[in-house]
Amino acid sequence: MEYLSIYLFLTVCLLLMLGYHVAFTLAGTALAFATAGVLFGIFDAGFLSALPGRIFGTINNTTLIAVPLFILMGSVLEKSLVAEELLESMAKVFGSMRGGLGISVVVVGMFLAASTGIVGATVVTMGLLSLPSMLRNGYSPALATGTICATGTLGQIIPPSIALVLLGDILSTAYQQAQLNMDIFNPKTVSVGDLFVGALIPGLILVGLYILYLFIYSHLKPESAPPAREESVSVRVVLKGLLPPLGLILVVLGSILVGAATPTEAAGIGAAGAILLAYAKGQMNLQRLQEAARNTLEVTCMVFLILIGAAVFSLVFRGFGGEELIHEFFHSLPGGAMGATLVVMLVIFLLGFILDFIEITFVVVPIVGPILLTMGLDPVWLGIMIALNLQTSFLTPPFGFALFYLRGVAPESVPTGAIYRGVIPFIILQLALLVALWFWPELATWLPSVMSR
């Protein structure tokens, strides 16, 4: 019977590859398997009785309130053209140096990715804002598109991002379940804030590697990344466009890091601050506010609908004995916990070609997370590894999501092959960081341990 859980998982993957809606595929396929199991007497329908409790728990989960608030913050910054002004200001600061426009894209993309956390939104926004300017200033198509794609995926690892909020909430539950499985009835906790703190050093290292690569590449091949042909502008104008949005994001992140606010409270500050900032700059009107609110509603509904579908799927998966099957498989692997982690990372990397981070977070992590944490892994380290792994998957040709998003907004003059070539160096940098985290977990765990004292 337990092999039916594997068939369920493979069926879901196949249907998703055919283009069916994620949430309805997860719930519908699981219910179809459960119905067949009940009819043949091999599935206990009592497992589904836990579904109302799961949904009610989601409704009562205050951490998840941060999701629509962070989405609203990023949407307002985008719709009100504050993000565009920020990019223009950064381009004027760095544009006169070789590779300066690319460095500006990385820096602005880092902050934009942190505020939205949605790979598609960041890649499309940066593609529309910066790609024409980079091509117009003589950047090679491969370097320009590779920089934008890589920057767009930073939302997976740069706090405070939606990906880390969702991943932190799931890992918190998985960590408690793992400790209860080990007969620890006074379990330690891990929060979204812990994951934010743990992601800070790896995220900044990755941004630094991107900038270092652009700097070296622009000096080795100056014709591929020439100085931008920007008009001179006063420092006052640059600071006017640069400081307010950066200050807002730093306040949001800083309030979480110093413990002055929870992620949910900081998200509320960020959303309100983004609206006030847009109005203060004269770049917000009722139409743009309505567009931002509508976009927030659509993305939030998608996230929580997938969460409900994933809850149905995980209950049926466990009802067929899938969790026990995976537990036995992991313990039979050579290398113990690290061998099991390597297999999970490979599976998640491949699933990143057909599933978004939301589906993987809600479907895969609740299944494998408790098992891996029972084997002694640190939850913060595991969360950062998963986030970086997904970021690399979304960037890898030929199926990476970021590549498809940029292809959709890039001009026809930019060949698809150039996009693929452009992302290869950034993939190598991300893999190097993953390897470093594998051998030095302290890159992710040191700062949370210091700040918790």
Convert the pLDDT of each residue in 37-85 to its tens digit.
Answer: 888 888 888 888 888 888 888 788 888 888 888 888 878 877 777 777 7
96-121 in b/e burial notation, b at 16+ Cβ within 10 A? eebbbbbbbbbbbbbbbbbbbbbbbb
Question: What's the structural domain count of the chain?
Answer: 1
In a domain, 306, yes or no: yes
Enumerate residues 6+ apart whose C-beta is below 8 A from 178: 369, 370, 371, 373, 374
Share of the chain above pLDDT 70, in %: 94
Quickly count: other Cβ atoms within 10 Å of residue 1's Cβ.
Answer: 13
What the block records as the tokens of 287 is 């139409």
Give the model's pLDDT for residue 433: 95
Higher pLDDT: 239 or 341? It is: 341
Higher pLDDT: 32 or 258? It is: 32
Sign of the dihedral defined by the CA atoms of residues 332, 334, 338, 339, in that order: negative
Quickly count: other Cβ atoms within 10 Å of residue 181's Cβ.
Answer: 13
Distance CA 290, CA 414 (A): 34
In a domain, 27, yes or no: no
Residue 176 reports pLDDT greater than 70: yes
Give the model's pLDDT for residue 9: 86
Q: What is the mean pLDDT of residues 31-37?
A: 91
Residue-wise pLDDT for 303-337, tens only, equals: 888 888 888 888 888 888 887 888 888 888 888 88
Gap between the terminal Cα atoms of the chain? 48
Instruction: Give pTM, 2 decimals.
Output: 0.84
For residue 93, what is the enclosing H or E element? helix 82-94
Residue 161 reports pLDDT greater than 80: no
Give the model's pLDDT for residue 381: 94
Residue-wise pLDDT for 120-155, tens only, equals: 667 777 787 788 888 888 889 999 999 988 988 887
Distance CA 425, CA 412 (A): 23
> Domain of 181?
49-451
Residue 232 reports pLDDT greater than 60: no
Q: Say if CB 373 and CB 175 are below 8 A apart.
A: yes
Sign of the dihedral defined by the CA atoms of residues 372, 176, 165, 378, in that order: negative
Give the model's pLDDT for residue 279: 86
398: preceding bond cis by omega (within 30 degrees) = yes
Give the model's pLDDT for residue 402: 83
Residue 213 reports pLDDT greater than 70: yes
Among residues 295, 238, 265, 303, the alpha carbon closest in space to that of 80 is found at 295
In a domain, 3, yes or no: no
Enumerate residues 6+ apart whose C-beta is below 8 A from 155: 113, 114, 116, 117, 118, 119, 122, 161, 162, 163
What the block records as the tokens of 231 is 């008009």
In a domain, 307, yes or no: yes
Give the model's pLDDT for residue 201: 92
Residue 379 reports pLDDT greater than 60: yes
Higher pLDDT: 28 or 60? It is: 28
What the block records as the tokens of 282 is 């004269």
Q: Say if CB 190 and CB 380 are below 8 A apart.
A: yes
Residue indicated by tokens 């408790």: 370
Give the pLDDT band of residue 115 (cuts 50, 70, 90): low
Whole-angstrom CA distances from 347 to 329, 338, 344, 397 are: 14, 14, 5, 16
Average pLDDT of the chain?
84
Enumerate residues 6+ apart whose C-beta is below 8 A from 304: 58, 64
